[in-house]
Structure 1
Amino acid sequence: MFSSERLKGIDVFVCVADCGSFKAAGERLNLTASAISKAIARLEARLQARLFRRTTRSLALTDAGLAFYRTCSGVLADLEEAELELQAQRHELRGKLRIDLPGAFGRARVLGPILEFAREHPQLQPHVTFSEHLANPIEAGVDIAVRLGGPDLWPAELGHRHLGTEQYLFCATPGYLAQRGEPQVIADLERHQCIAYGWADGRVHPWSFATDEPGQIERRSVTASCVVGAGEGLLMAVLGGYGIAHLPSWLVKRQLQDGSLVEVLPHLATRGQTINLLWMKSRQGLPKVNAMLEFLARSLEE
């Protein structure tokens, strides 16, 4: 059975870690520095672990203390959240909501809807971060995550919704095509300016082409007249009329709709990564999490 003794000193410990000193924590909690020190000492004795490295000039978490802090701060945040939810009306969305997005896709397709949702719910405080790696949102402590690609089977603690699959298209401006003509087959690209993605070490990403066999693709290196190391930069280059680019559909959706870009070689377009919406199942019952999930699902499935 869970003992209430385990909760003693947790709030003091988290406050000291946040403030960086016993004195500052005491001022926040309206306790003396001596009382703070004794509370931490009792907690360390009960846990049989040192939580802080103390010197005359500094106070820092040990490795054990850091691990314990991550768990304890999350527990206290959940308790605070539960109290806020009880105080608020069910229809009122309020409090911090942590959302993690992939960089370029998040800025181009997801951040706008999040800000739109936040304007409709002024008590909501989105905390949006961007990361390219497929970190487990549970480990990162986020409520909701959007990911491009990922494993076939996500951890059981995560809710998962597949929102679609990106396509990789070949695009150019109408002005460029009026001057250079529209390519009809892969070989025609040799007579065109190709804008490719590349890295700082000089490598250039090959282009993918659909083949006659369903689901199969062919990767070829292209002679690039311009190399750019970011998706947004590639979009700027192709919109500037520098040539033909190979871009994900989500990045050029608006430009294709308004006619500033034209798709070429449509029969050679390929499927890209899946678009996935993830969330912590333990927090799905919170109105703010559930409402944001539904809103993002509608926005990203359009």
Structure 2
Amino acid sequence: MNSSERLKGIDVFVAVAAAGSFAAAADRLNLTGSAVGKSIARLEARLSTRLFERTTRKLQLTDAGTAFHRVCLRVLEDIESAERVLASDTAEPSGRLRVDVPATFGRRQVMAWLMAFAADHPAVQLHVSFTDRFVDVVDDGIDVAVRIGGADTWPANLGHRFLGKERLIFCASPAYLQRKGVPATLEDLLSSHDAITYGRADGAASPWLISQGAGPTERRAVDSRIVVGDGEAQLNAVVAGLGVAQLATWLAGDALRAGQLVPILPDYDLEGLPLHIVWPRSKRLLPKVDSLLGHLAEHLRVR
């Protein structure tokens, strides 16, 4: 089956899902109710699955129909965007633009640049999701994703651009250090101080990364006083004087500049995870995607 055959009936299917009935969809599409019903029947036969549950009182999507509907909306949106590219001499960015960003980094570092982009491109409808899991950019219909960390190799259907690496430091509040003393050595830090670590959803605490000079990086499990599953909450606990944490400078920077935190053991500062922007290669030429990629590549850095 060629690609044009696969597209048959999608517009009718989406219209029925939106209208909630064959008759209402027929009115919107200027078709007969019979033509709409036959189109849906042919589509279901081709897919070998039932897309709607039909009763005498209502029409609703099945689970398979719901999943197919999400994909169809993305396909129609991409077709519309491609048509706008061809129809416009200026190729002004427009349409819905879905962006996925890490929760804490997204709020503290990315969102300001996304708002600036939205202000410069009023025809773009920006949809931003905040999540710390790595979404499937293609399957989830994401146009651009910002990722901290990631695989050494990327799938062939994804474009990616490296924007630098975060820097990790040990730090604590002045009040905590006055109370507990400033650690002079790594052993002092590990044995005599309260650790505030980042925790995953399964309850496990992330280890500290230990490296000195050009030596290898060691993952060191620590006995945590507090384990927090949110970066900003972890930062707040350190500022409150509850212990020492290893934090990225993009997260701790404002508190360091304000004197709320003090760096300790600078010989153990090290590079952390890489920052990338990622996008489906099939969307690279869409003006909205291309413009945002250029905007983020120019402004977004881990600091």
TM-score range for the pair, normalised by the shorter chain length: 0.7 to 0.9
The CA deviation at 1:235 is 0.9
Judged with a 3 Å threshold, the aligned counterparts in structure 2 of structure 1 residues 205 and 283 are, in CA distance, closer, same or farther, namely: closer
1:213-232 pair list within 5 angstroms: 214-224=215-225, 226-232=226-232
Does 2:25 correspond to 1:25?
yes
Correspondence for 2:261: 261
What's 2:36 paired with? 36
Bigger mean CA deviation after superposition, 77-86 or 229-238 = 77-86
Within 5 Å, give how 1:136-215 maps onto structure 2.
136-189=136-189, 190-198=191-199, 203-211=204-212, 214-215=215-216
Alpha-carbon distance in structure 2 between the residues aligned to 1:275 and 1:195: 24
Amino acid in the other structure paired with 1:26? A
In the superposition, the TM-score normalised over structure 1's length comes to: 0.85
Number of residue-to-residue matches in the alignment: 301
Question: Offset at 1:254?
Answer: 2.9
After superposition, the Cα gap between the structure-2 partners of 1:95 and 1:212, relative to the gap in structure 1 and judged at 3 Å, is closer
**Aligned partner of residue 85 in structure 2, secondary structure:** helix
Q: Distance in 1 between matches of 2:200 and 2:126?
A: 32
Question: What TM-score do you get using the length of structure 2 for normalisation?
Answer: 0.85
Q: How far 1:145 sits from its partner (Å)?
A: 0.9
Say which SS state the counterpart of residue 138 (structure 1) adopts: coil
Equivalent-residue separation in structure 2 for 1:134 and 1:3 (angstroms): 30
> 1:218 and 1:7 mapped to 2: Cα distance?
51
Whether the aligned pair in 2 keeps the contact of 1:144 and 1:278 (CA below 8 Å) is: yes
Report what 1:100 is aligned to. 100
Q: Does 1:283 align with 2:268?
A: no
Q: Any conservation in 2 of the 1:171–1:245 contact (CA below 8 Å)?
A: yes
Question: Would the aligned equivalents of 1:170 and 1:269 in 2 still touch at CA under 8 Å?
Answer: yes
- Post-superposition Cα deviations, 1:249-287, rounded to whole Å, max 9, x if no partner, equal 221133334443221112123432221111111211122
Shift of 1:240: 2.2
How far the C-alpha of 1:213 sits from its partner, in A, is 6.1
User: Cα gap change, 1:154/1:201 in structure 2, threshold over 3 Å: closer, same or farther?
Assistant: closer
| Residues 217 and 270, structure 1, Cα contact 8 Å, conserved in 2 | no
Q: Write the letter of the residue equivalent to 1:75.
A: V
Q: Deviation per CA, 1:226-256, whole angstroms, max 9, x where unpaired?
A: 4333111011112223332221222113333
The amino acid across from 1:139 in the alignment is D
1:38-78 CA distance string (max 9 Å, x none): 33124334555543332334434456545644443332111
Q: Determine the C-alpha separation between the residues in 1 that align with 2:103 and 2:248.
A: 14
What is the distance in 2 between the residues matched to 1:96 and 1:201? 35
Q: In the alignment, is the contact (CA less than 8 A) between 2:209 and 2:217 conserved in 1?
A: no
1:102-123: CA deviations, max 9, x gaps?
2222222212211121112222
1:118–1:124: 8 Å Cα contact kept in structure 2?
yes
Structure 1 residues 139, 200: closer, same or farther in 2, change over 3 A? closer
CA distance in 2, matches of 1:171, 1:222: 17
- Distance between the aligned counterparts of 1:223 and 1:48, measured in 2? 54
- Once residues 217 and 3 of structure 1 are traced to their aligned partners in structure 2, the CA distance between those partners, rounded to angstroms, is 51
Corresponding residue SS for 2:197? strand
Q: Distance in 1 between matches of 2:133 and 2:200?
A: 17
Change (3 A) 1:25 1:249: farther
Which stretch of the first structure deviates more once superposed, 183-192 or 83-92? 83-92
Report SS of the residue matched to 1:183.
coil
CA contact (8 A) 1:211 1:217 kept: no
Could you tell me which residue of structure 2 aligns to residue 271 of structure 1?
Answer: 271
Change (3 A) 1:186 1:92: same
CA contact (8 A) 2:96 2:127 kept: yes
What is the CA deviation profile of residues 74-95 of structure 1, one whole-angstrom value per residue up to 9, with x for unaligned ones?
3211121123334445263221
Conserved? CA contact 2:171–2:264, under 8 Å: yes
Gaps of 5+ in 1: none
Percent of aligned positions that are identical:
49
Secondary structure of 1:137 counterpart: coil
Counterpart CA distance in 2 for 1:15 and 1:235 is 48
